[in-house]
Chains A and B, each alone.
Chain A
Amino acid sequence: MLSFNVDKRGIGILKIGKGDKSKKGLSSNLFVELGNLIGEIEGGNYIRAVILTGEKDEEFIPDIDLEEFLKFSSEDDGRLFSLRAQDVLNRIERCRVPFLAAINGLCTGVGFEIALACSYKIASDNPRVAFGFPAVNLGLIPFAGGTQRLPRLIGISKALDVFLRGRLIGTAEALRLGLVDEVVPEEILLSIALERALMVSGGKRLKSKRFGFTRGLFEKNPLVRKILFSRAKKNLVDKRYVRSLAPLMILESVEVGMGASFNRGLHVESVYFGELVVSDVSRQLLKFFLSVDDVKREIIKQSGHIEPVKKIVVVGSDPLGSQFAIVAAEAGICVRLYDTDYKKIGEGLRNCYRYFKGKLKSGAITEFDMRRKLNLISYTCDYTGFRNADLVVETLFKDLEKRQEILKGIEPVAGKDTVLMLVTFSTPLSIISSVLSSWQGRVVGVRPFLPISNTGVVELIYQEDSPNSAIGTVVDFLRRTGILPVFVRDKEGFFATRVLLAYLFEALELLGEGAMVEQVDGAMIEFGFPKGPFALIDEIGLEFVSKVGKELCESLGERFKMPLLLDKMAREKNLEWGGFYNAEGKVNKSVYNLIEEKIVNDRLLKSDFKERLCLRMLSEAILCLEEGIIRNPRDGDVVSVLGLGFPVFLGGPFRYADSLGLGIILEKLEALSHRFGSRFAPSGLLKELVLERKRFYDA
């Protein structure tokens, strides 16, 4: 894990690495080893200075493997780990031999903590270099003194910004804040570091930048500081449904540390870290991030030896099509946008232009980048430019007949290796591609989640006979555009649409029984969804919900029977009525006029909403697993959280089911199916698991 070499001038170069590439991160043993090494350095008298640096093209120092955190079984485990880390970094800070950090890669988490303890910090100008503490995203806090060192270096308010928002700081800002002492071109980083090391060891004091006098004065004022902290605390409380205590605990460690002393701060930090690392929320978050990581690793393995995608044709320039064009252009892939007339193409191009213009305005890209990316998108109304495309992305999901007709037109002009990627929300590939002949073997489907660049996940739909090369091409395309594919079998609704529709239909049932729109939405937001089911229906469009619902009902039967309300709306052709919410975000009262009789009005409770909606989702998800639509619970959880907005701190439907206890779920489902009918009927798999006292996950 540690590699330490000393040159003849007595300058030691220390690199901390995973050692083995297949490992996910450093082991928690790091601090024991590091402690021993410091002992040796202190003990000997031939080392004059130590330069800490990372391997080329990797992180400065990799983070601790998240699985190590899961091994802690009690608060004390976490606290002791934190105390040891703090001790080692204190020793680095106070060591007789000066430590210098030559930062040449991403510097987050443990790496950032160690860098903070070094007496002189030089960063390379490589754009990959950035500083930050992503721990808060996992419901954790820095554990090796970071909560104390950072505010002392860059000031309290900036530090809180980094801690609480998980924000990354680039080199330019880091230099301005005094977070690093120098930023130098990448190529000369090490030679400058050596030069500085010789200067420091020669007894010369390097001028180190400290944050401004006025800010120091300002933040040293106890009254100002108090206001600062109380405002930050209020901001946290204002976000009503903060599930994790981590932000609050960071705030308190900083407050104690800055108010009392460095050591008191360290103490608070270690206690809180111990508490958090075994809390339910952060355990679920850790497990979830590990699952996502797992899926990513699988994908990288799978797309290893595939010819990279250079050019795609996007068929259909509506917003969905232009989103695919955008992510492809972002990844530097040539795009040809096809639609039947130039007016539609114009709209698609406008979307792309606005997207990049927005990025330009926000300062994320330069004008040059914007032009270069927009230049990758060409357009056509005829079938030119298909033969050399590696991939045809067909997005006309709205009208089956029209899409089949267009596909038949494209088939003869497509190249012999061109893969067809059908974008579909519920219609199986086998149905859409039934009109194709020579293309049959090279069809792969994708069920996107909108907006695709934000959710970053899709379901990748494969057929039993889909060849690996076709799947590989699509996986390569998705990987390069930063979208995570999760494999699902080709059956109506796949996984996510089925789970989503079950949820939405249940919400409509509730409405039909007399629940209020804002009550149901409020309950689900409280549960942890970013928005309620009715707001979601507005976003998707009621018409589309009912169309997909009909498809699912035909193939999957009674469970997807149209809720009476939706059925009624459909019959009255009232689907384009403006939505459950109007433009100002108020509930559209006219929806209640459609409800004639309130069936079980008095028995509806808010906790009931959550339970019914949630159990409906869970039971559908379990059914998908039983039918083999998804390969394992992990995939289902990843899609549900990233794609459908299932609360991440619950870990996804399967993790959540495990944490509730499958027996209880079975009981509740049985009770609900007595009251509401077969749509709640528990699946065979669930019964079996309960009987065998098993869970979805082993750990």
Chain B
Amino acid sequence: MLGNTRRVAIVCGIRTPFIRAGTLFRDLSSLDLGRIVTVELINRSEVDPEDIDEVVFGSMVSVARTPNLARDIALASGIGASTPAYTVTMSCISGIRAFTSALESIALGNRDTVLVGGVESFSECASSLSSKMFNIKLKNGSFKTVGLLQRVNAFLGNGSYKLSFGLPFLLDASAGITLGESAEKMARKHSITRREQDEFAARSHNLASISAKDGRFGEEIVSLLLPPDFSTLVCSDNGVCKDISVEALSKEEPIFDRRYGTVTFGNSSYLSDGASAVLLMAEEKARALGYNPLGYVRAYAYASASVCTDEKLLMGPAYSTPIALELAELTLREIDLVEIQETFAAQVLSNARAFASKKFAKEDLNRSNPVGEIELERLNVLGGSIAIGHPFGASGLGVIVTLLNELKRRDRNFGLVCMSASGGLGVSIILERE
């Protein structure tokens, strides 16, 4: 993978259910969520906490109370105080950043076993902003209510709504526009229609609800009993809509441009709370301890768009994927399953277009050939963040684990995970089971 370095095994991975911000996990802090997945990972993998050499966590919104979240999580989870821990951030791909940082130190032989996690609690962040409005909105988080409230708020000229209402309003400071507006521009640039976006969103919800019903997430999701009365069992993602139709989605009003816009709350992801964790080990160590790893990392690459403006904000994967494929000595054809992180339907479809576009390859990547076409049959086959939510720090690791489990179920070998982060950043990871 990285010349003559060690191969890294993903031994075990789990996540909490992903929950709409401000709902069930209202009272759990990022520390709580992180601790829960860490303790559970230690128990499920049966790893001796003394064998863990380092703990790395990724989180986008950090809270002043826990400046080095990873350390607090590690200590609260019974990992020895002599094990170092650090926290990384890289906006929406913070969890993946933690993952690759750990990967590097294992590959280089600095560490044998690293516990990697990602956690995001927007509820905690919201309560620290103490925005009453935010809480009201989040408690009844259906699409319609949001639209209405948002409009009222806009009408009242309350400028702070951009910060407080949902994922599409997150602002990219360097580009000066929100992610949602960027998605809108992307859709226009790559001529993606409203219908296409709604269809993709409906597909995401339907695939996710089928997968949940079939118990395909069963192995990786940790069930939680919520304090203080421990009678509510949270065992599945609560944002997935069953039997949602394209027609229903098409009734949603566009968020930014009421007449010509295409991006709605229905075809974009939402703020969520959740945590995930994976146990990484050097291959020989994993074998020595008798583990049968979920899979290995074959290659990965970070890249960013050539310009960081407007429609390029979430196009990172289109830049990073060809590099990762090259490092892995594979072509897109050989990849069995592809996951493109769904922040907006428009963003997934734009990236997929860019993969296939000769023009994009020539102009933006300076390559003669495009990466290739991704058929829907191998793209996000278990649904994606539009349905199950996008807790930034946590979703990347969740996708990796889901993909590996699904590859195992289908008995296939290669998987590709692409994620984009605001600022035009992208990462692509190529996983293999053998």
User: Knowing A346-B230, A346-B231 touch, does A387 contact B223 (C-beta < 8 A)?
Assistant: no
Asked if A378 lies at the interface with its beta carbon under 8 angstroms from chain B, I say: yes
**A353 adjacent to chain B (CB < 8 Å):** yes
Is A678 located at the chain interface by the 8 A CB criterion? no
Q: Are B223 and A342 in contact (CB under 8 A)?
A: yes
Q: How many A-B residue pairs have CB under 8 A?
A: 54
Q: B195-230, CB under 8 A of A: which get 1 and which 0?
A: 000000000000000000000000000010101111
Distance in angstroms between the alpha carbons of A343 and B48 in the assembled complex: 29
In residues 376-394 of chain A, which contact B (Cβ within 8 Å)? 376, 378-381, 384-385, 387-388
Q: B46 contacts the other chain (Cβ, under 8 Å)?
A: yes
A350 within 8 Å of B (CB atoms)? yes
Task: For the complex, give the distance between the alpha carbons of A346 and B232 in Å.
Answer: 8
Q: Is the CB of A378 within 8 A of B40?
A: yes
Give Cα A585–Cα B40 distance, bound, in whole angstroms.
Answer: 45
Q: Are the C-beta atoms of B225 and A387 separated by less than 8 Å?
A: no
A357 at the interface (CB under 8 A from B): yes
Q: Is the interface of A mostly helix, strand, loop or mixed?
A: mixed
What CA separation (Å) do A350 and B228 show in the bound complex?
7
Cβ–Cβ contact A384 & B231, under 8 A: no
**Are the C-beta atoms of B43 and A346 separated by less than 8 Å?**
no
Question: A607 at the A/B interface (Cβ < 8 Å)?
Answer: no
The residue in chain A whose Cβ has the minimal distance to the Cβ of B76 is A375
Taking the nearest CB of chain A, how far is it from the CB of B238, in angstroms?
16
Give the Cβ gap from B17 to chain A, nearest Cβ, in Å: 13
User: Which residue of B43, B223, B227, B233 contacts A385 across the interface (Cβ within 8 Å)?
Assistant: B43
Contact pick for A334, options B35, B78, B230, CB 8 Å:
B78
**Cβ–Cβ contact A349 & B225, under 8 A:** yes
Q: A342-B233, A375-B35, A388-B48 are in contact. Are A357 and B228 (CB under 8 A)?
A: yes
Please, how many angstroms separate the alpha-carbon atoms of A117 and B42 in the complex? 56
Choose from B36, B39, B77, B225 the contact partner of A342 (Cβ within 8 Å): B225
Collect the chain B residues with CB atoms within 8 Å of residue A376's CB. Answer: 78
**CB contact under 8 A between A387 and B228, given known A342-B223, A346-B233, A372-B76:** no
Q: Tell me the minimal C-beta distance from B281 to chain A in angstroms.
A: 16
Contacts of B231 in A (CB 8 A): 343, 346, 350
Q: Is A246 an interface residue (CB 8 A)?
A: no
> Per a CB cutoff under 8 Å, which of B40, B78, B230 touches A349?
B230
Nearest CB of chain A from residue B105's CB, rounded to whole Å: 24
Distance of A370 from chain B, by nearest CB (Å): 11
Q: List 8 A-B contacts (CB under 8 A).
A: A334-B78, A342-B235, A345-B225, A347-B230, A349-B225, A349-B230, A385-B46, A388-B47
Q: How big is chain A's contact interface, by range?
A: 20 to 34
Q: List, in ascending order, chain B residues with CB within 8 A of A350's CB.
A: 228-231
For the complex of A and B, the 3 pairs showing the least CB-CB separation, nearest first, are: A385-B43, A346-B230, A349-B230
Contacts A342-B225, A378-B39 aside, 12 further interface pairs with beta carbons under 8 A come to A342-B223, A343-B233, A346-B231, A350-B228, A353-B227, A372-B76, A374-B227, A378-B43, A381-B223, A384-B44, A385-B42, A388-B48
CB neighbours of B228 from chain A (8 A): 350, 353, 357
User: Which residues of B sit under 8 angstroms from A447, Cβ to Cβ?
Assistant: none
Contact string against A for B residues 55-99, beta-carbon threshold 8 Å, 1 for contact and 0 otherwise = 000000000000000000000111000000000000000000000
Chain B residues, Cβ within 8 Å of A349: 225, 227, 230
User: Which chain A residues border B227 with CB–CB below 8 Å?
Assistant: 349, 353, 374
Give B63 Cβ to nearest chain A Cβ, in Å: 16
The contact string, 1 if C-beta is below 8 Å from chain B, for chain A 323-346, is 000000000001010000011011
Residues in chain A near residue B235, CB distance under 8 A: 342
Within 8 A of A (CB), among B232-290: 233, 235
Contacts of B39 in A (CB 8 A): 375, 378
Query: A346-B230, A346-B233 are contacts. A380–B225 as well, Cβ < 8 Å?
Result: no
- Shortest Cβ distance from A376 into chain B, in angstroms? 7
Tell me, in angstroms, the Cα distance from A375 to B78 when the chains sit together: 9
Inter-chain CA distance A311–B49, complex, in Å, is 11
CB distance from A346 to the nearest CB of B (A): 4
Give chain A nearest CB distance to B267 CB in angstroms: 35
B231 and chain A: residue at smallest CB distance? A346
A342 to B225, alpha carbons, bound, how many Å?
8
| Also in contact, A336 and B230, with CB within 8 A (given A342-B223, A342-B225, A379-B225) | no
A-facing residues in B113-149 (Cβ within 8 Å): none
Q: What is the CB-to-nearest-CB distance from A373 to chain B, in angstroms, rounded to a whole number?
A: 11
Say yes or no: B46 contacts A387, CB within 8 Å. Answer: yes
Highest count of chain A CB atoms <10 Å: which of B40, B43, B46, B47: B43
Quick one: closest B residue to A377, CB to CB? B39
Q: Is the CB of B230 within 8 A of A385?
A: no
| B234 CB to nearest chain A CB (Å) | 10
How many angstroms between the C-alpha atoms of A342 and B235 in the bound complex?
Answer: 10
In the complex, chain A residues whose CB is within 8 Å of the CB of B42: 385
Q: How far is the CB of A668 from chain B (nearest CB, A)?
A: 54
Nearest CB of chain B from residue A359's CB, rounded to whole Å: 14
- Contact residues in A for B76 (Cβ distance below 8 Å): 372, 375
Give the nearest-CB partner of A348 in chain B: B230
Beyond A345-B225, A349-B225, is A384–B43 a contact (Cβ under 8 Å)? yes
- Whether B225 pairs with A346 at a CB distance below 8 angstroms is yes
Please give, as numbers and ranges, the residues of chain A lying within 8 Å of B225 by CB-CB distance: 342, 345-346, 349, 379
- Expressed in whole angstroms, the minimum distance between the Cβ of A295 and any Cβ of chain B is 31
- In chain A, positions 152-185 with a C-beta closer than 8 Å to chain B are none
Render A383-421 as a binary contact track against B, CB cut-off 8 A, 1 for contact: 011011000000000000000000000000000000000
Q: How far is the CA of A345 from the CA of B42 in the complex (A)?
A: 20
- Alpha-carbon gap, A582 to B42, bound state (A): 48
CB contacts under 8 Å to B, within A277-296, are none
Roughly how many angstroms separate A342 CA and B229 CA in the complex, as a whole number? Answer: 13
Q: Flag B26-43 by CB within 8 Å of A: 1 or 0 each.
A: 000000000110011011
| A336 and B46 alpha carbons, distance in the complex (Å) | 12
Which residues of chain A are near B36, meaning CB under 8 Å? 378
| Chain B, 301-357, CB within 8 A of any chain A CB | none
Chain A residues with CB under 8 A of B77: 375
Interchain CA distance A372-B76 in the complex, whole Å: 7
A381 CA / B233 CA spacing, docked (Å): 12
Q: How far is the CA of A342 from the CA of B231 in the complex (A)?
A: 9
- In the complex, A347→B230 CA distance in Å? 7
**CA of A385 to CA of B47 in the docked complex: distance in angstroms?**
9
In the complex, the chain B residue whose C-beta lies closest to that of A311 is: B78
Cα–Cα, bound, A385→B235 (Å) = 19
Contacts of A379 in B (CB 8 A): 225
